[in-house]
Amino acid sequence: MAKKKTAPAVAGENAIELQETAGLSQNQIVFRRFLRHRAAMISVIGLLFIVLFVFSAAGLRFGSERNAATTPGWWPYSITDIADMSSENCAEGLVGCPTLDVLPAFIDGTGMGLGKHPFGQDDIGRDYFALVMRGAEQSIQIMLIIGSIGALLGTVIGAISGFFRGWIDAVLMRLTDFIITVPTLIIGAVIGHRVGNLGVTLLGVFLGLFAWTGLSRLVRGEFLSLREREFVDAARVAGASNRRIIFKHILPNAVGVIIVSVTLLMSGAILLETGLSYLGFGVVSPDVSLGSLISQYQTSFSVRPWLFWWPGFLIVAIALCINFIGDGLRDAFDPRQKRRITKRDLVKADKASKDA
């Protein structure tokens, strides 16, 4: 009998707000909102495409210069192959121009095609497509490594200082302040100078050790407010240890902030690597990254601008995709973010209610 009485109240109390979330877990709601974010979805597809394309083209290569484990890619040239300079598709007096032709035959009469060196060749005849693919692969690797190490450190340090407060907080946050005050570029330059020749993996690891500061501040703030919520007291009353409260109860609630700022951290990382390599402190020749490619050929900008275009285009595309994904995630995690309702939605709903 008592159950029967409950039924109308369930229908009455905030029933309208509940319509949208009925039967969905928190993660499903976030995921659904993310799927609705058009720019973010396009960026996810774009980024996946870039990563697959780049990694399959260049093949994977780990380890240092001398004993590397490699898997071959589908592109016939590697970054160490030196071919004869070709003057195909070039204007008078130039060699190594891009042979890529995206205009169909009815416009310029030559038809679409890749040609021998679609992105052209560099000074000594290396295939520029191979170089750019290798460079992008390196840059993406560094980005992922910096992102994951930064995320791990930032989350743990932020969580500990936000949860325990007091002197632990003071010490950790002063350390954070200290690292923030030293310009990233200088830290990067020192690290790049020391470990740049040991391969991108180590470079990424060391850069990651300094990239957590912003994230840890955010996580700390989130923990400071979440630890005052009553469910934390409830967990404590239930007998939960500090570790359980931090990782089981508070961290899942802070995951939105973490995911969002890690994506933004990653797009920052790719730009940091680019900047370092441009200054000559990052990836060291003969290996390449997107930044080092730009820096190597900056002098040829006026004559052979394509040496600039391709790596520049990839940097912008990757950073933009990640930024849009981060943006989409932030919107999805923000419960106050309401979907904008268009006139069309309203008309549709009107029609539906009239039909019914």
Partner 1 sequence: MNDKQPILKVESFNVDFWVDGVWYPAAIDMNYEVMAGEVLAIVGESGSGKSSSSMGLMGLLASNARVTGSVKVKGTEMLGVSQKLVRKFRGREVAYIFQEPMTAMNPVYTVGFQIVEVLRTHFDMGPKEAKARAIELITMVELPDPSNTFDKYPHQLSGGQRQRAMIAQSLACDPALLIADEPTTALDVTVQAEILDLMRNLRSKLNSAVLLITHDMGVVADLADHILVMKDGITVEKDTVDNIFNRPQHPYTQQLLAAVPKLGSVAVRTLEKVEGSEAPVLKLENLVIEYPKRGRIPAFKAVSDFNLEIYPGEIVGLVGESGSGKTTVGRAAIGLIPVKSGSIQVVGQEIAGASMKDLRKIRRNTGIVFQDPASSLNPRLPIGESIGEPIFLAGLMRGSELNHKVEDLLDSVELPRSYRNRYPHELSGGQRQRVGIARALALTPDLLIADEPTSALDVSVQARFLELLQGLQEQLKFACLFISHDLAVVDILSHRIAVMQNGRLVEVGSRDEILKHPKDAYTQRLIAAVPIPDPALQKIRREARLAGK
The footprint of partner 1 (CB under 8 A) covers 2-3, 5-6, 9-16, 18-26, 229-231, 233-240, 244, 249, 252-253, 338, 341, 345-346, 348-350, 352-353
Residues 149, 127 contacting (CB under 8 angstroms): no
Closest CB to partner 1 among residues 14, 285: 14
Pairwise CA distance, residues 213 & 222, whole Å: 14
Closest CB to partner 1 among residues 302, 353: 353
Nearest distance from residue 337's CB to partner 1, in Å? 13
The DSSP call for residue 91 is: P
Closest CB to partner 1 among residues 194, 348: 348
Closest CB to partner 1 among residues 66, 343: 343
Closest CB to partner 1 among residues 232, 315: 232
Nearest distance from residue 290's CB to partner 1, in Å? 38
C-alpha closest to that of 96 among 107, 88, 104: 88
Instruction: Work out the number of other CB atoms within 10 angstroms of the CB of residue 311.
Output: 28
Residues 128, 121 contacting (CB under 8 angstroms): yes
Instruction: Work out the number of other CB atoms within 10 angstroms of the CB of residue 119.
Output: 24
Give all strands (DSSP E) within the chain, no chain letters: 61-62, 69-70
Nearest distance from residue 77's CB to partner 1, in Å? 50
Closest CB to partner 1 among residues 273, 331: 331
Nearest distance from residue 237's CB to partner 1, in Å? 5
C-alpha closest to that of 207 among 259, 122, 285, 275: 275
Nearest distance from residue 297's CB to partner 1, in Å? 50
Nearest distance from residue 220's CB to partner 1, in Å? 18
Identify any residues that bridge with 69 across adjacent strands, giving them in sequence order. 62
Nearest distance from residue 83's CB to partner 1, in Å? 57
Closest CB to partner 1 among residues 183, 239: 239
Nearest distance from residue 79's CB to partner 1, in Å? 47
Nearest distance from residue 264's CB to partner 1, in Å? 23
Closest CB to partner 1 among residues 111, 252: 252
Closest CB to partner 1 among residues 52, 238: 238
Residues 333, 260 contacting (CB under 8 angstroms): yes
Residues 265, 277 contacting (CB under 8 angstroms): no
Pairwise CA distance, residues 265 & 276, whole Å: 16
Diameter over CA atoms, the chain: 94
Four-residue CA torsion sign, 87, 90, 94, 98: negative
- 10 Å CB burial of residue 37 (0-12, 13-18, 19+) is buried
For the chain, give percent helix, strand, coil, nearest 5.
65, 5, 30
Residues 216, 154 contacting (CB under 8 angstroms): yes
Pairwise CA distance, residues 219 & 228, whole Å: 15
